[in-house]
Structure 1
Amino acid sequence: MKEIEKRVRAWLLSLVLVTCLGLTGCVTGVSGLQKYADNIKGYQFLYPNGWVPVEVQGASEGVDVVFRDIIERSENLSLIVSDIPEGKTLESLGTPTEVGYRFLKQTNSTAPQGRTTEFLRAGSYEVDAKPYYILEYAVELPDAQQRHNIATVAVNRGKLYTFNLSAAEERWENVKEQFEASAKSFSVY
């Protein structure tokens, strides 16, 4: 009987160990993010701890929410919601690269003199059978400040959602993993 007890204990210990290791593997490795959700407008995302919502006076049309870091005040995120024709899908707007270049062209045509934007990369992924595009840009402001932006683009219920995070280029490597996790956390429902 004692031999059976030992085997059962060993088996249970192995099961607990495997379960713990398996659950540890599910962790993304990115910490320091908290959830924001607007259940009325149907979107949610994760944003860095230490960031606060801000009211932007004279914000562009469609700006729905803006957050910024309370210490690194130039690090921010924004969500712009625009109307698109009913029935349009993200794919019908073009591939990730086409949408990225169209956004770049629009940004450069309306940007203040001396501001330039360079398209770096585009990608796509799906969450719950909904497509999302990820776009990455380098921005040079008129004062020669270099910035790095990453954006998630989605379409839902006749709306185009552009979720953008921005940091100074010299800080990009420090925040890259967290910003990418935040960008990929954006979802519409």
Structure 2
Amino acid sequence: MALCWISIAPSNHYHNSIIIQNLSLTHSSPPPHKPKPPQITTSVSTLSSSNPITESSRFPVVVSKRLVNLAIVGDVLSRFLFFSKALASQLLELQQYTDPKEGFTLLIPSSWIKVEKAGATVLFEDSEKKSNNIGVVVNPTRISSLGEYGTPQFVADKLIQAERRKESTKEAEVIAFSERSGHRDLQVYEFEYKVDSTRGGLKRVFSAAFVASKKLYLLNIAHSDGLDDPLDMERRMTLEQILHSFDAVSAT
């Protein structure tokens, strides 16, 4: 947000000089008639081109404009604060979910419902729109880290290939991929891609994967992102927070 600095500058200095000259009082010989009273001729010359009446009348106008600008800025700030509070109230409230048996943890929306689905270790669905969901799959593997399998780009390509093989998929495209460190410097890959399918339409998918204790952990966050229901920035930030929270924990 840009801040507007508003200052009220003083009016231009001006100098007026008024010269009053008493020209003369001449006396002549006593006239035969009653003398007229002496006349004083006054000459006024202004040495500055500024008009004091004009400059003085401008000052209240300038002040009024400044006050109007200040009022507009104040109104914009108040509307921004109100809008920010409204957006904050719409953000999903997150809570920690940990599976000590499988050894992973992540944040989930507190309002989403846990459901059972074949093939998923755990699955949470949006109570208002079931196509928005968060799922985790844990499978045994022979490798000790994702680095042994390939780079983040290599794994992202494999994910897209798997999506394209589905009969319902019309289009799939990688948006981004990256790598971060998790629990005890665990190697974690993160991906973002979009999928257009006959089931649910256009979706934005955030995924994360890591290998720990000879197990492959895969997080999948799917959210609608169509023209009729686009993914807004606030919801996107929340989903990214969930993505970054996916990590391994010590099994008990």
Same fold (TM over 0.5): yes
User: Is 2:138 the partner of 1:81?
Assistant: yes
User: Is 2:134 the partner of 1:90?
Assistant: no
Question: Which blocks of at least 5 consecutive residues in structure 1 are unaligned?
Answer: 1-28
With normalisation by structure 2, the TM-score equals: 0.57
Question: Which blocks of at least 5 consecutive residues in structure 2 are unaligned?
Answer: 1-87
Residue 78 and residue 95 in structure 1: after superposition, are their counterparts in 2 closer, same or farther (change >3 A)?
same
Offset at 1:143? Answer: 5.7
Residue 180 and residue 107 in structure 1: after superposition, are their counterparts in 2 closer, same or farther (change >3 A)?
same
- Corresponding residue of 2:170: 115
AA in 2 matched with 1:130: L
With normalisation by structure 1, the TM-score equals: 0.75
AA in 1 matched with 2:173: E
Distance (Å, rounded) in 2 between the aligned partners of 1:171 and 1:82: 33
Q: Say if 1:77 and 1:163, in contact at 8 Å, map to a contact too.
A: yes
- Corresponding residue of 1:36: 97
Residue 76 and residue 113 in structure 1: after superposition, are their counterparts in 2 closer, same or farther (change >3 A)?
closer
Residue 106 and residue 79 in structure 1: after superposition, are their counterparts in 2 closer, same or farther (change >3 A)?
same
Distance (Å, rounded) in 2 between the aligned partners of 1:68 and 1:144: 14
**1:172 aligned to which of 231, 246, 252:** 231
Offset at 1:91? Answer: 0.9
Structure showing greater Rg: 2
- Corresponding residue of 2:219: 163
Q: Deviations over 1:4-53 (max 9, x none)?
A: xxxxxxxxxxxxxxxxxxxxxxxxx9861101111111111001121110
Q: Secondary structure of 2:231's partner?
A: helix
- Corresponding residue of 2:127: 70
Q: Say if 1:120 and 1:136, in contact at 8 Å, map to a contact too.
A: yes
Over aligned residue pairs, what C-alpha RMSD do you find? 1.9
The structure that is strand-richer by fraction is 1
Distance (Å, rounded) in 1 between the aligned partners of 2:215 and 2:100: 15
Q: Secondary structure of 1:115's partner?
A: strand
Distance (Å, rounded) in 1 between the aligned partners of 2:169 and 2:243: 27
Q: Say if 1:137 and 1:149, in contact at 8 Å, map to a contact too.
A: yes
Share of identical aligned residues, percent? 23
Q: Say if 1:147 and 1:166, in contact at 8 Å, map to a contact too.
A: yes
User: Is 2:198 the partner of 1:139?
Assistant: no
Offset at 1:93? Answer: 1.2
Q: Say how many residue pairs are matched.
A: 155
User: Is 2:244 the partner of 1:184?
Assistant: yes
Offset at 1:76? Answer: 0.4
Q: Say if 1:48 and 1:178, in contact at 8 Å, map to a contact too.
A: no
Distance (Å, rounded) in 2 between the aligned partners of 1:52 and 1:34: 13
Distance (Å, rounded) in 2 between the aligned partners of 1:81 and 1:171: 30
Q: Secondary structure of 2:130's partner?
A: coil
